[in-house]
């Protein structure tokens, strides 16, 4: 089994899991799904410079074969942005849950069940202690 097949199937599985989770109704699953998708995207960007082993990343006259350093810079940028955005989404989802008493992404006033730690009567944004 080749290296390329391994990386490609890993990206595929991550995207599939990410899409499944991102389509769920609760914010926590959606955030996890987005994280999986962003992992897949980072792997994909990494592979866009071709998968090669044991090659120097910097061009040198003495070296005839080298690996492309640019995708690594792109991945770094992508990681920084997605990391920051994931943190922001987590805080936003938490604030939204605490203020509306529902963590459903579609935003309708679905009463929370007991597992959420919120009794039905309290699900109005007050008394949000777990």
95 sits near other proteins (criterion: CB under 8 A)? yes
Residue 35's nearest CA partner among 17, 50, 48 is 17
Interaction between residue 45 and other proteins (CB under 8 A)? yes
Task: Name which of residues 9 to 28 contact other proteins (CB under 8 A).
Answer: 22, 27
User: Which range, of 2-10, 54-62, 94-102, 113-121, touches other proteins by CB under 8 A?
Assistant: 94-102
Report whether 21 contacts 29 (CB < 8 A). yes
Q: Residues for the chain: how many in total?
A: 130
Give, to the nearest 10 degrees, the angle between helix 27-47 and helix 70-100.
180
Contact 64, 39 (CB under 8 A): no
The reply on whether position 82 binds other proteins by CB under 8 A is yes
- Binders of other proteins in range 51-70 (CB under 8 A): 68, 70
Under the criterion CB under 8 A, does residue 87 sit at the interface with other proteins?
no
The alpha carbon torsion through 9, 14, 17, 18 (nearest 10 deg) reads -140
Residues that bind other proteins (CB under 8 A): 22, 27, 30, 34, 37-38, 40-41, 44-45, 47-50, 68, 70-71, 74, 77-78, 81-82, 84-85, 88-89, 92-93, 95-96, 99-100, 105-107, 125
């Amino acid at each position: 089994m080749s290296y390329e097949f391994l990386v490609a199937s890993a990206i595929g599985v991550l995207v599939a899991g990410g899409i499944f989770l991102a389509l769920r109704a609760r914010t926590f699953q959606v955030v996890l799904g987005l994280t999986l998708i962003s992992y897949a995207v980072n792997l994909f960007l990494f592979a866009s410079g071709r998968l090669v082993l044991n090659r120097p990343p910097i061009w040198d006259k003495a070296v005839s074969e080298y690996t492309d350093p640019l995708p690594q810079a792109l991945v770094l940028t992508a990681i920084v942005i997605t990391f920051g955005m994931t943190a922001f989404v987590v805080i936003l989802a938490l604030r939204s849950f605490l203020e509306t008493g529902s963590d459903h992404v579609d935003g309708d006033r679905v009463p929370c069940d007991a597992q959420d730690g919120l009794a039905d009567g309290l699900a109005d944004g007050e008394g949000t202690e777990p």
